[in-house]
Amino acid sequence: MFGRSFLAIALVSVACAEPAVPDRWIEPQTGMVFVRIPPVQGRAPFWLGAYEVTQAQWEQVMDRDNPAWFHDESGRLPMENVNLFEVRRFIERMNARAPGSGFRLPTESEWEWACHASTAMDYATGATLTPADANIAPSPERAAEGGTVAVGSYAANAWGLFDMHGNVWEWTSDVAGDLQIIRGGSWYFGADSARCGLRYTHRPQDRGFSVGFRLARGG
């Protein structure tokens, strides 16, 4: 994770720059949209999925093997209920289909940088986040009433990334001891869990009905 001073300096420097229309790249076989994320403090730019990986994309790559908890006819619900090893197999197949593409999970610091998208507040939306801004639980008592929604159902952040807050937690490539770091909160958790800077962990072998992922490449 970025140290506080490093992140604060980096965010201020980007916030002072003129906003630019993000460069986009579309993976031709699945239609995944990737946004070019600007570099931070001398690091290389990288590409990050504009959306969480959908069930339709998962089924296309994994021969329709879909263990998701939630389903609908659109195929636009985020893929969830997949553990880290299954996600890695998905990535291996993506890279095998297009050698040299370099698909991977984002690092924790890349994810946090992209979530902030030139802001320095707890959320890309500012100091607060409500169920009108993201698919999060309105209260702990009502968490079980929810579920995933189609990716892109809420407004994108300033860099054109959707659902960085809520919908499903997202696997990253970083670890904390024996646990894998996940980011972003989900439909089952409240706003506090969806803060850009919040770290949560999950056993890599475990699935979850509110844990999914998005892909990165390059960097």
Which residue in this structure is represented by tokens 């893929």?
79
Residue 164 has what pLDDT?
Answer: 98
Residue 115 has what pLDDT?
Answer: 98
Residue 219 has what pLDDT?
Answer: 82
CB 24 within 8 A of CB 162: no
CB 142 within 8 A of CB 136: no
CB 207 within 8 A of CB 67: yes
Residue 11 has what pLDDT?
Answer: 44
Which residue in this structure is represented by tokens 């209920």?
81
CA–CA separation, 62 and 56 (whole Å): 10
Instruction: Report the sign of the C-alpha dihedral through residues 42, 47, 51, 56, in that order.
Output: negative
Instruction: Report the sign of the C-alpha dihedral through residues 119, 122, 126, 131, in that order.
Output: positive
Residue 107 has what pLDDT?
Answer: 97
* Residues whose CB is less than 8 angstroms from the CB of residue 21 and which lie 6 or more positions away in sequence, other chains included: none
pLDDT tens, residue order, the chain (219 aa): 334 433 443 443 343 343 444 699 999 999 999 999 998 777 899 999 999 999 999 999 999 889 999 999 999 999 999 999 999 999 999 999 989 999 999 999 999 999 999 999 999 999 999 999 999 999 988 988 999 999 999 999 999 999 999 999 999 999 999 999 999 999 999 999 999 999 999 999 999 999 999 999 998
Residue 110 DSSP label = H
CA–CA separation, 154 and 176 (whole Å): 31
Tokens of 26: 């579309």
